[in-house]
Structure 1
Amino acid sequence: MPEVIFAGPEGRLEGRYHPQKEKDAPIAIVLHPHPNYGGTMNNKVVYNLHYAFYNLGFSVLRFNFRGVGRSQGEYDMGIGELSDAASALDYLQSMNNNAKHCWVAGFSFGAWIGMQLLMRRPEITGFISVAPPANLYDFSFLAPCPASGLIINGSADKVAPPKDTTALVNKLHEQKGITITHEVIEGADHFFKDDELYMKPMIESVSTYVRRRLTEVTR
């Protein structure tokens, strides 16, 4: 497993980095769920998203936010975690100077951080937001949302209820110039716990979406 340690705002950050051989391969970072509720870069959704992007030809980095695993620092209510994500993207870009496309993917709390990073980094060309907790966090900063992306959630999610996710999607749909794709995995809970029934279809939906977007830009 290609472990990496890179500099963050509060000390070192621990990650896993899988580069492609192609020098101009697209890049992606994957952000994990809430640190205070057991979220780490080895969360099953995060792990599967990481390899989905890698299998699509991306050089991929996932990492532990401050205070998680071997990453230094303490939980900072999302403010410091956003800075961590920016540092992770800086590190990934430094290793891939010729990347033509840059994506961010996040799960739950990581989806909220990822969408904030999207607002601050114009080089991000696409996003994947899995089970964004629109009931717990304010997403009104997405005004306007600067890039098209996929929001995907489970119909049986009790942590981030589907009605709140749908309301977020509808709000983003009103904006011009971008396309927000929304997919629902029927029966899935917040964690897509059954691999065959829920995790696999979710990852397949993500892969199909990203593959289509890459095909569109290379035509």
Structure 2
Amino acid sequence: MPEVIFNGPAGRIEGRYQPSREKNGPIALVLHPHPQFGGTMNNQVTYQLFYMFAKRGFAVLRFNFRGVGRSQGAFDHGEGELSDAASALDWVQTVHPDARACWVAGFSFGAWIGMQLLMRRPEIEGFISIAPQANLYDFSFLAPCPSSGLIIHGDQDKVAPPKDVQGLVDKLKTQKGIVVEQQIIPGANHFFENHVDTLIDNCGNYVDRRLNMLTAA
């Protein structure tokens, strides 16, 4: 798992990259939680997601948003972080140009950034949105949501209350041509304490089902 440094809009960005074993293996970009509340690319959920994708043959990148770790710049309330994510995707596509598919996965703040990136990059065909804070961030830009994906959260989440996530899911489910799957993990809080393994297993099973559908198509 090589450490990588690439250029972003606010200077250098620090990341970890796992190449795919296949020339046309799919790409996955993994986005970490809120930088001002301790979120980094080494967050347990972000770290485990990274390896979940790597095990499935993805070329996968996780990175620190601006101002985190050795990434240059300062927190920019989402706008700059979205630019960082776009630069990260550009970088992976440069080093892995023959990818047959592209996914984005984000946790909490990272889920909000990931969904915005989804709207701007038509090549992203799958997403995993973990504990999106629909109570705090405006997701109305998902009109319509362009790709199918998974929204997964805990029923004991006080940071992203289930009723707010449910409202987001209900809105997205009314759109034709995409399938937004929702999974609720019983007993899990926002940080999935004691439930990280269940979370990652569920995400992995979802990715497997999507990949199998592509193979069968």
Same fold (TM over 0.5): yes
Listed one character per residue, the Cα deviations across residues 104-126 of structure 1 (whole Å, up to 9, x for unaligned) are 00000000000000000000010
2:159 is aligned to 159
Equivalent-residue separation in structure 1 for 2:93 and 2:20 (angstroms)? 13
1:209 is aligned to 206
Equivalent-residue separation in structure 2 for 1:23 and 1:69 (angstroms)? 31
Equivalent-residue separation in structure 1 for 2:121 and 2:139 (angstroms)? 17
TM-score of the superposed pair, with normalisation by structure 2: 0.98
How far 1:21 sits from its partner (Å)? 2.0
Q: Which amino acid aligns with 1:25?
A: G
Q: Is 1:79 equivalent to 2:79 in the alignment?
A: yes
1:200 is aligned to 197
Q: Which secondary structure state, in structure 2, belongs to the residue aligned with residue 189 of structure 1?
A: coil
Q: Which secondary structure state, in structure 2, belongs to the residue aligned with residue 125 of structure 1?
A: strand
2:121 is aligned to 121
* Contact 2:151–2:180 (Cα < 8 Å) also in 1: yes
Q: Which amino acid aligns with 1:113?
A: I
Q: Which amino acid aligns with 2:116?
A: Q
Q: Which amino acid aligns with 1:144?
A: P
Q: Is 1:69 equivalent to 2:69 in the alignment?
A: yes
How far 1:145 sits from its partner (Å)? 0.1
Q: Which secondary structure state, in structure 2, belongs to the residue aligned with residue 142 of structure 1?
A: coil
Query: Structure 2 matches for 1:20-31, cutoff 5 A?
Result: 20-31=20-31
Aligned-CA RMSD value: 0.6
Listed one character per residue, the Cα deviations across residues 81-104 of structure 1 (whole Å, up to 9, x for unaligned) are 000000000001001111001000
Query: Structure 2 matches for 1:133-144, cutoff 5 A?
Result: 133-144=133-144
Equivalent-residue separation in structure 2 for 1:215 and 1:3 (angstroms)? 31
* Contact 2:111–2:132 (Cα < 8 Å) also in 1: yes
2:171 is aligned to 171
Stretches of 4+ moved more than 6 A in 1? none
* Contact 2:4–2:17 (Cα < 8 Å) also in 1: yes
Where structure 2 has 5 or more consecutive residues not aligned to the other structure, the ranges are none
Equivalent-residue separation in structure 1 for 2:197 and 2:173 (angstroms)? 27
Q: Which secondary structure state, in structure 1, belongs to the residue aligned with residue 205 of structure 2?
A: helix
Number of aligned pairs? 216
TM-score of the superposed pair, with normalisation by structure 1: 0.98
Q: Which amino acid aligns with 1:182?
A: Q
How far 1:56 sits from its partner (Å)? 1.2
Q: Which amino acid aligns with 2:34?
A: H
* Contact 2:21–2:57 (Cα < 8 Å) also in 1: no
Equivalent-residue separation in structure 2 for 1:185 and 1:53 (angstroms)? 20
